[in-house]
Amino acid sequence: MTETTLPGAAEIQARLLKGPYHQWLGLQVLAVGDGSIELGATWREEWVVNPEGGYTHGGILATLVDLTADWALVSRTGRGVPTIDLRVDYHRPARGNLRATGKVIKFGRQFSVAEAQIFDAEGQLVASGRGVYATPAPKG
């Protein structure tokens, strides 16, 4: 892969699913663009934090914000980037399968910023956030 040949949805899906945690989350790459990504996450009963309410734990939502923003940058860089800082806002209880959209806000030589939004099965915004990621050029 060269700098002008960025990974497509199938390649990102294969790379994403190398991680056991990503497999457990039931992630599917729905769409990829230059600096953007859309993911699906299949609901699991283990996500529930409150059995009476039946809603998803905030840690799962924070994970989806972080990895969606991160993988939006992968669509631009072709490689993983480490998280430096992360901000997550919770908007309403999340239930069922989730859809996450991410996009690069600022691409820099050392640091980049990307954001993500998480939607429930009815299309309601349940969480959103923004991260700062280290994006220096690879050495060598």
Q: Confidence band (pLDDT; 50, 70, 90) for 5?
A: low
Q: For 5-50, what is the HEC assignment?
A: CCCCHHHHHHHHCCCHHHHHHCEEEEEEECCEEEEEECCCHHHEEE
Judge whether residue 7 has pLDDT over 80. no
CATH code for the structural domain at 9-134: 3.10.129.10
Q: Kindly state the average pLDDT of the residues 114-128.
A: 97
| Banded model confidence at residue 137, pLDDT cuts 50, 70, 90 | confident
Backbone angles phi, psi at 60, to 5 degrees: -65, -45
pLDDT in tens, 19-67: 999 999 999 999 999 899 999 999 999 999 988 989 999 999 999 999 9
Give this prediction's pTM: 0.92
* Six token digits for residue 11: 């390649």
* 3-state DSSP assignment of residue 98: strand
